[in-house]
């Protein structure tokens, strides 16, 4: 039950993020929901790497440490890419705000026409 409860909390966070990302009009709220989704995923990755035994380890490879911390590496890359994504996303939001005076995702439809 110790692994499952972390994974269930990760799944709940991911679903809340899906709800926010799909139902919000403000672009900043969509970005914040994306951050919640990223956090759910990294929680699941760290919990899996803490409690489960990698296949390579149970089939008898010597260097255990090489496979045990894959979830940690995943989380480091997720955090880095989330930082890059937020910097770019907020720059795009500021640029949209300068030209149109609002940041609603339902209003930015120039590329559709």
Partner 1 sequence: MNLGTGTEEAIIVEIVFWVIALCTIISAIAVVQVRDLFRASLFLIVTFLGIAGMFILLRAEFLAGVQLMIYVGAISVLIIFAILMTRDIDDGNPSHGFRLPVAIISLVFMGIAIYTVSQTEWPLLASQSLSPDQISQSKAVFENTIPDTARMLLRDYVLAFEAVSVLLLASVLGALALVRER
The residues near 97 (Cβ < 8 Å, ≥ 6 apart) are 103
Distance of CA 66 to the CA centre of its chain: 24
Is 41 a binder of partner 1 (CB under 8 A)?
no
Is 108 a binder of partner 1 (CB under 8 A)?
no
- Terminal Cα distance for the chain, rounded: 52
User: Looking only at residues 44 through 73 of this chain, which bind partner 1 when binding is defined by CB under 8 A?
Assistant: 46-47, 50-53, 55, 57-58, 60, 64-66, 68-70, 72-73
Tell the smallest beta-carbon distance from residue 48 to partner 1 (Å).
Answer: 8
User: Looking only at residues 71 through 100 of this chain, which bind partner 1 when binding is defined by CB under 8 A?
Assistant: 72-73, 75-77, 79-88, 90-95, 97
Whole-angstrom distance, CA of residue 41 vs CA of residue 16: 12
Is 23 a binder of partner 1 (CB under 8 A)?
yes
Q: Three-state SS for 26?
A: strand
Counting residues that bind partner 1 (by CB under 8 A) gives: 76
């Amino acid at each position: 039950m110790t692994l499952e409860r972390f994974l269930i909390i990760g799944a709940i966070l991911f679903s809340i993020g899906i709800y926010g990302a799909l139902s919000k009009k403000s672009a900043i709220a969509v970005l914040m929901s994306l951050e919640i989704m990223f956090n759910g995923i990294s929680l699941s990755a760290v919990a899996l790497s803490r409690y489960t035994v990698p296949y390579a380890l149970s089939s008898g490879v010597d260097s255990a440490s090489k496979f045990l911390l894959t979830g940690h590496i995943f989380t480091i890359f997720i955090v880095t890419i989330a930082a890059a994504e937020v910097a770019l996303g907020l720059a795009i939001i500021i640029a949209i705000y300068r030209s149109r005076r609002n940041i609603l995702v339902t209003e930015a439809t120039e590329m559709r026409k």
